[in-house]
Chain A
Amino acid sequence: MSWGVVAVALLTSLSTAASLFMVAAGLTLIFGAMRVINLAHGSLYMYGAFIAATIVGSATGDTFWYALALAPLAVVVLGTLLEVGLMRRVYRADHLVQLLATYGVLLILGDLALQFWGASPLSVSSPRVLSGSLAFQHFTFPAYELFLTGTGVLVGLALWFLLARTSLGWKVRASVEDAELLAVRGTNVKLLYTVVFAIGAFLAGLGGALITPLQGVDTGLGSSIIVAAFVVAVIGGLGSIAGAALGAGIIAVFQMAGALWLPAWEPTSLYVAMIVVLAIKPWGLLGVRDR
């Protein structure tokens, strides 16, 4: 098997991993700041995909770019409503209460999606400029996969910049350390949490909108992505954005290897990767022991 085949397979895995990274980064960001696992986070991804598919399907012409701009914003609105209406009430609650509450939201959002969009999958074709492929030597790399992988890297860099270089990022990091201290120094922590949740929702919505040309959009999307995103976040260390990037990369490599050499094992590769990592580093690759 030549390196070219491996490279094409890796690109395919990396492109879905890029979308997965966005979802996992939001999940881990929200967990890091608010100490809550939002099971409904996958539903936000699914809504990003559905809304994008609806926008693309509602008009002729190359509407993909509008969908890509609008769907994440619509998900931000949904996420903000969710935060204000429910999440902020459960930040201090027991983890079990948090899981039950967000699982309830997952079910409700799933049923609403079924009402709106029905059970048959919607499909979206790639935007015209990205519908071709790039030839390199004898191998062809699909353009959309390249675009998606590159976008994933850009989103990762943007998140790094946000957290490391802006005062919003300092506040997020400070709130992880000592939210009370941040509050007495003049930050409205309640509002900060809403903003963090909205950023997480944006990332989920973006990941969902971006996956549409590669995957049929149906109501199963939410629950499948939340499991994968959770695995990625746990591998990387819950709370660590860089860890989510690393975790997504590792998953991509495992899936590529599974697809090429052990096709029967591909679906399990995710969990194999998690078990291997957690056996070596119980708090994830870049995680720190919980306080």
Chain B
Amino acid sequence: MGATTGDPGEGLAVLDLHAYYGLSHVLQGVSLEVGVGETVALLGRNGAGKTTTMRAVMGLMPVRSGRVRLFGQDVTGRRPDQLQRSGVAFVPSGRRVFGSLTVLQNLELAARAGRRRSTRWTLDRVELLFPALPALRGRRAAFLSGGEQQMVKLACALLGEPRLLLLDEPTEGLAPTVVQEMGGWLAALRAEGLGMLLAEQNAVFALRLAQRCYVLEKGVIRAEQAADELLRSETGLRYLGVARNP
């Protein structure tokens, strides 16, 4: 506890969020902040509510009570496409690409549907960040490898010109070399000044990128800490179910 907080008024601020799946009370008062350009890890065991927190923020499930503020505006209850337009990109976990469309169609759809005024992330620039992308343009997205799909997912998110990324388990199911590559991409985006909320089972991966972290347990935030502090704490890491890497 007692870590530095960013600039909540300007980034994302979640205040006492409650959400249900049917009768089950999944989010029991989640509060967290991600400052502009800040990288924050959201950690917790299986079923802690990380995905649900992101879905609730993104307007993908009803919020029973609590507020979501974004860039100084109250956006609670807005539709996902409205949130996207206000500058949040949610990158869900797993193989979430449009498999029946080609990679280029996936990218163009993301660019057209999500276009806002600024054009920081043109297709050319995105392909500069992911040099392997141009060769995949004509491929049906269903036939991509796991790592390639992660790349397309990130590229699609960027084409929507976000200021904040909500990344759900970006390393899930990836081979170690691809995990490393993902670390490189995210570090590059962080250097671009993009804010990030990073939900991860792979706590070490997330903590190496993040400045701060939250630990979620059974739908409530149990702890907030500076990332390097937690990375150095044996008990903290053991709680998260990881052995510290040398």
Contacts and interface: CB of A to CB of B under 8 A. Distances in A.
A187 B98 contact: no
Top 4 closest A-B pairs, CB basis?
A186-B114, A183-B80, A186-B113, A186-B84
B179 interface: no
B166 to A, nearest CB: 9
B35 interface: no
A95 interface: no
B52 interface: no
Interface in A167-190: 167, 170-171, 173-174, 177-178, 180-190
A184 B90 contact: yes
A185 B84 contact: yes
B131 to A, nearest CB: 23
18 contacts: A167-B112, A167-B113, A170-B105, A178-B96, A178-B98, A180-B92, A181-B97, A182-B98, A182-B113, A183-B80, A183-B81, A184-B84, A185-B114, A186-B81, A186-B113, A186-B160, A187-B81, A187-B113
B137 to A, nearest CB: 15
Given A180-B80, A190-B79, A185 B110 contact: yes
A87 B98 CA distance: 26
A184 B112 contact: no
Interface of A is mostly: helix
Nearest to A180: B60
Contacts of B114: 185-186
Interface in B126-172: 156-157, 160
B108 interface: yes
Nearest to B61: A180
Contacts of B89: 184
B123 interface: no
A170 B101 contact: yes
Nearest to A183: B80
B69 interface: no
A171 to B, nearest CB: 7
Given A173-B100, A190-B79, 16 more contacts: A170-B98, A170-B105, A171-B113, A173-B98, A177-B100, A182-B113, A184-B58, A184-B80, A185-B84, A185-B156, A185-B157, A185-B160, A186-B84, A186-B160, A187-B113, A188-B79
* Interface size band for B: 20 to 34
B99 interface: yes
A105 B89 CA distance: 39
The interface size bin for chain A is: 10 to 19
B85 interface: yes
B99 A177 contact: yes
A173 B98 CA distance: 9
B231 interface: no
Nearest to B153: A181
A174 B80 contact: no
Contacts of B101: 170, 173-174
Interface in B41-93: 58, 60, 79-81, 83-85, 89-90, 92
B109 interface: yes
Nearest to A190: B79
Interface in A181-203: 181-190
A189 B81 contact: yes
A181 B96 contact: yes
Contact of B85 (A171, A173, A186): A186
Contacts of B100: 173, 177
A29 to B, nearest CB: 15
A171 B109 contact: yes
A28 B108 CA distance: 26
A183 B96 CA distance: 12
Interface string A150-178: 00000000000000000100110110011
Contacts of A182: 98, 113
Contacts of A186: 81, 84-85, 110, 113-115, 160
A182 B79 CA distance: 12
Contacts of B80: 180, 183-184
Contacts of A180: 60, 80, 92
Contacts of A181: 92, 96-98
